[in-house]
Structure 1
Amino acid sequence: MKIMPNRMDRGFLRYQEEFEQKALEVLRSGWYVLGKEVSSFEEEFAAYTGADCCVGLASGLDALWIAFRLLGIGKGDEVIVQGNTYIASVMGITMNGATPVFVEPDQYFGIDADQIEEKITDRTKAVLVTHLYGIASQMDKIVSLCDRHHLKLVEDCAQSHGACFDGKMTGTFGDVGCFSFYPSKNLGAFGDGGAVIVRDKQLADEFKIFRNYGSEKRYYNKVVGTNSRLDELQAGLLRIRLKYLKELTEEKAAIANRYTREIQNPKILLPGLPDKATCVWHQYVIRCEERERLIQYLNEREIGTLIHYPIPPHLSEAYAYLEHGEGFLPRTEHLAQTVLSIPMYNGMTNEEQDYVIRALNEFE
């Protein structure tokens, strides 16, 4: 039995007729940019998350860097961010000329809230929280700290569509919640796409102007903006996916619960959840001190895996100029050497789950 780490085709096939009908509807409409599909999706996604406003953008990375730009964060400013995030989180900071200040993660892969305060300086302007792998971070401590120090709070929710902390959805705690709709995400489009959610209507309007060349009215440009528009086709298809996001999330949770109950191997450490937090299981991430041998073992059984992520941003060539060498973030670096994402996708059969669980339990 061959099992891929992710299968996006099954998510399409389940709702194929609706996706195809919507695609034809958009194509036949003759309106492909900033039309009724985008505005409708923005309203529906805001309602789903409990946010006041949503603005569709071209990608999750655009959501991040534009957020920091519109919050006025730039050269000379510092933004505190966890070391074990995907590099796009850090790029959102540095594309504006600001400096990332790294903090180690906690045992649940989120930023260690207890380490943030010691990193604050008179140049600190914001904290960026990444809800990694779909696990909601411990937001009560972080919100309190940002309020106390008058810091902006940005949430990277690229992997946490629908995850909650203490009953409140990720993306709604801070000044801006940034989302990606890359096809592999829990709420995935059929190409690139992203969005922000905000509680400040004026800020939402600034996003709408900035994404469209800085133009509120065609050919009248208020600011030097960019081209970052969620297109009509992707917005329409996302509306279909959003309708079924609850059941898709519940299906992934059922798979994760099976993994947690039935994978029993002392060589494999399973993920946990913080108090008051939920997870939407964008990835099911185990840890193994003998990861390379485990990968080889699973490859021989045609079970695909992925590493999220093998090189921490502070050790990447892109950020060599920050001069953070090996050993700078030992916990982050150890995670990079031991984490492994095992197969997790909608449409995964019981037989496929059985096969993965049995293989992991038989690893010696």
Structure 2
Amino acid sequence: MSKTKMALRGTTFAVTLGAFAMPATAEIDEINWAVPISFASSLTALGDTLPWVAERLEAVSGGKINLQVVEPGAMIPALAVFESAATGQIDAGYSWMGYERGQVPAAALFGATPFGLEPHGYVAWMYEGEGDALLKETFEPFNVYPILCGTIPPEAAGWFKFPIESVDQLSGLNMRAAGVGGEIMKEVGMSVTVLPGGELYQALETGVLDATEFSLPTVDDQLGFYQVADYYHLPGWHQPSTSQFLYVNMDVWNDLSAQTQAVIETTCMAGTVYAMARGEALQGPVLSSFEEKGVEAIQLPDEVLQEFRDATEVVMERESENDAQFAKVYDSMKAFQAANKPWHELGYLPRDWTWDKEASE
């Protein structure tokens, strides 16, 4: 083949590729959204997920999709993301799902379900089970299109000024908590208050709160709770996984091209993996560092966990009776968890198993 023919063929091939590539690129909409978030972007493994997603969206869209991350309180109140997206005050926002449970009771289950699915199981239910379809169904009446965009490992059970050694200590205890977990704490006699993260240190320090739960060790460390409480209780029975969502106003979402929608949803899926990996990787060293700061990290006694589990059954039954969508979502979660129980019990090493190295020598 002559050099001329080879050059012509190369040119034809390039033009053909361009014919396929250019229309696809052209279908990505120009987006410039100011996106308020509920947690400061400086909070490691909690508030830094959406900034990462925003960077990736700009890169994969060739600069067409721009999300300007707006810190809590700068544009709207930190806990007003859902309402603001629903009314069209904002195009989109990013928050933990559950602050809106007064209007959308089932929302709290997507944010965190007590004694429920852990991160890998939750993501499996969302992407391979009924989760995402039920999510969209739950929020459609409120003119919001929600996208899972970050899941992190369990939160701690909370920071306390004294060790919890028995169920009797729970009655009357004034604690910050949110979501269904807060309702369960009320069921065992605790007094529960919902406050944003930025207000918790002072509330603990001044005695407004006896205890608080908030997030992962990396986040709690940054907020300085170890300076005002000496006992860090685990596990996070109330939030075995914690999930955040991109809330997009439905009218705004429907105006986007299918390709733009796909780019956003796929990048949020990547953000979920990023959050899971980052959240899991960073906690061990931070948890170990608390001992040097005079904090005792300890597990809740079995009788206390049993009390919370008993109360969970009562609360979940009551919530399910009061709201059909709550019942539908919770039943789906429980069915998925039960179906996968044999695999989780047999497929993974038991958590209390250790290698007896001396016995093998």
Q: Which has the larger radius of gyration?
A: 2
TM superposition score category, shorter chain reference: under 0.3
Return the TM-score normalized by structure 1: 0.27
